[in-house]
Amino acid sequence: MRKLLLVLPLLLSACGTVPISVPQIVKVPVKVFCKTTPVPKPSMPFDEQATPIMNPRLKAILFAAQEENLKGYSKQLEGALAGCSPPPGEPTFSITQPTQ
């Protein structure tokens, strides 16, 4: 009986061990910054060359040229940003904190 009392705590201590946990995969969205080639800023003919005493017709020509430069620049920027969007059908995630 005495031996049983000595062996019993050893047997019960084996039940108290921590089971080995299996690693779980948790998908967490991570913000990834897009890397694109820099788009060079275009020249601004009106801002650089127009003067107050210049002929209004020449000012209009410079302004029209600047407008065309800005349209091309915006198309280049939109093209660079289009490469940063996720592929179609790709789920987008957002993490929001619960309101109290």
Q: Note the pTM of the prediction, 2 decimals.
A: 0.52
What pLDDT, in 10s, does the model give residues 13-48?
655 666 677 888 888 877 777 788 888 999 999 899
Handedness of CA 26, 28, 33, 36 (dihedral sign): positive
pLDDT of residue 93: 56
The letter for the amino acid at 44 is M
Task: Characterize 59-74 residue by residue with b for buried, 16 or more Cβ atoms within 10 angstroms of its Cβ, and e for exposed.
Answer: eeebeebbeebeeeee
Confidence of residue 94 (pLDDT cuts 50, 70, 90): low
Q: Which residues touch 50 (CB under 8 Å, ≥6 apart)?
A: 58, 59, 62, 63
